[in-house]
Every structure is written in C-alpha cells, then in structure tokens.
C-alpha cells in the first residue's frame, strides 16, 4: 500500500500531511492549495489515496485533478469512522472536530479525551473511553476576540496578542489583551477542570494555531499535538481502505 495524503482546510490555512501507514513522514501549511502543489506531492511520494476535510468548500481545481489519479474521500457526516458519533446534528458538525476525536481516541482507546482546538474559533470536544463522541463547545479564538472588539465598537483599537503577568489591565490596550488572552485561558482551564470531575483520568490535547502559545500559559499540564486532526484523517482513510 502506498502513502496516504491527508488535507485539512481550515478558516485561515490548509494543513497537509503524508503518512506511511500510521507514520507521519511529511507535513506542511499553506494559505492556499494549487494543482501544481498537489502534483509536486504526487511526484515526490508514492501516494495511493487521499482524504480531505474542509470548512470552506466542497470542490476546487486541485481536488478535481486529484480525483482523476487516486481515490479521494471528501469527509462528511456519512463517511464511516472508527468511533461512534452521538452528536444530535451530525450534518452540522465540523469535520475537523470529528477527525480530531478520531485522532485522539485511536491513539489510546482506554481513556476519555478532551480535544481543545485553538484556531480561528476554539472548539472543546469530548470523546469517552468507549469511543463515543459526545460533542463539545465552540467559542471565538484569541484573534477573533480581538478583531471582534475592534470591528463592533467605535473606539476600541485593534491590538496585538500579548500575555501579561498582571491580571488587571492598566490601559485599554492591556485590558483588551487580557480580555482576549486571559479570557481564553480561563475558559480552557474552567472547562478542563469541570470535565476532569466528570471523566476520571481524561486525556487532554491542545491543538490549533494558538496551541503552543496557550500551552505555555496554562496551569494544567496539557499535551500539545499540532497533528491530531491530520492523524485522525489518516485513521479514517485507513478505516475506509
């Protein structure tokens, strides 16, 4: 069996990975994907199948071209997966969320998992130790919080993301930064503490563009895994082989 190509298209960038069996051998980030870029991957690796998860589109030039040369799964709520999806509206569920749950659970099937994806939006999702995806929450990510406060007011400025040791903002800029950054940290910490009280020994994973930044600031030790969605996509692809 050749290599597998996994593509996760988020709100701001595309994440690409090539796997040999369960081993990640290549990964990349792109603001946009082109046929030329995909052709380069096909030339470099012995890719025999692909899977794509997207929050933005169903079809593009590169995807049409890819389908002509290898089998491609466009992940949807109807795609068979190696966990049980208990979401009440599976057709509305972001495929990156279910892929992350698959990636987390298939690495350790004896534990419940909390997956926190800190990207444009922040998602907090739970899968129990029996492999049941239970759902989760969605809230604005750090960048979205900062941008929204500027967009939806007349006087609040657009500020850079910065962490302050002092929890009390002493200027409007600092207050906005604390509100966005500290607010995100408080939300993660409170949700994590609550979930830990319900699921003993739950494993917590932090992923997404702001994962490393947040992991350094959180009081709880949380494992940062930037590839959990891609790993889940690979598992779903292999499940459907």
Which residues are catalytically annotated? 96
Q: What distance in Å separates the CA atoms of residue 110 and residue 28, rounded to the nearest whole number? A: 31
Q: Which two tokens stand for residue 225?
A: 């895994």
Three-state SS at 24: strand
- CA neighbor of 126 nearest in space, from 110, 139, 113: 113
DSSP three-state, residue 158 = coil
Q: How far is CA 28 from CA 7, 116, 178, 191, in A?
A: 10, 21, 31, 31
Tell the burial category of 241 from Cβ atoms under 10 Å away from its Cβ (0-12, 13-18, 19+). exposed
Q: How far apart are CA 65 and CA 78, in angstroms?
A: 23
């Amino acid at each position: 069996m050749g290599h597998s190509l996994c593509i996760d298209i988020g709100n701001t960038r595309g994440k690409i990975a090539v796997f040999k069996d369960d081993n990640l051998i290549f990964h990349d980030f792109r603001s946009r994907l082109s046929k030329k870029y995909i052709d380069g991957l096909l030339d470099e690796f012995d890719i025999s199948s692909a899977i794509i998860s997207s929050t933005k589109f169903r079809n593009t030039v590169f995807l049409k071209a890819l389908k002509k040369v290898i089998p491609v799964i466009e992940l949807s709520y109807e795609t068979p997966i190696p966990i049980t999806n208990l979401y009440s509206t599976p057709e509305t569920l972001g495929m990156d969320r279910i892929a992350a749950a698959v990636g987390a659970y298939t690495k350790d099937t004896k534990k419940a998992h909390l997956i926190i994806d800190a990207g444009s939006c922040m998602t907090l999702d739970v899968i129990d130790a029996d492999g049941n995806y239970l759902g989760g929450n969605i809230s604005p990510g750090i960048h979205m919080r900062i941008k929204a406060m500027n967009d939806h007011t007349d006087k609040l400025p657009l500020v850079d993301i910065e962490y302050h040791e002092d929890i009390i903002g002493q200027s409007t800029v600092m207050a906005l930064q604390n509100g966005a950054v500290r607010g995100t940290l408080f939300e993660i910490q409170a949700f994590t503490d609550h979930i830990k009280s319900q699921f003993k020994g739950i494993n917590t994973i932090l992923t997404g563009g702001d994962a490393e930044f947040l992991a350094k600031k959180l009081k709880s030790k949380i494992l940062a895994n930037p590839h959990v969605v891609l790993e889940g996509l690979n598992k779903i692809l292999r499940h459907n082989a």
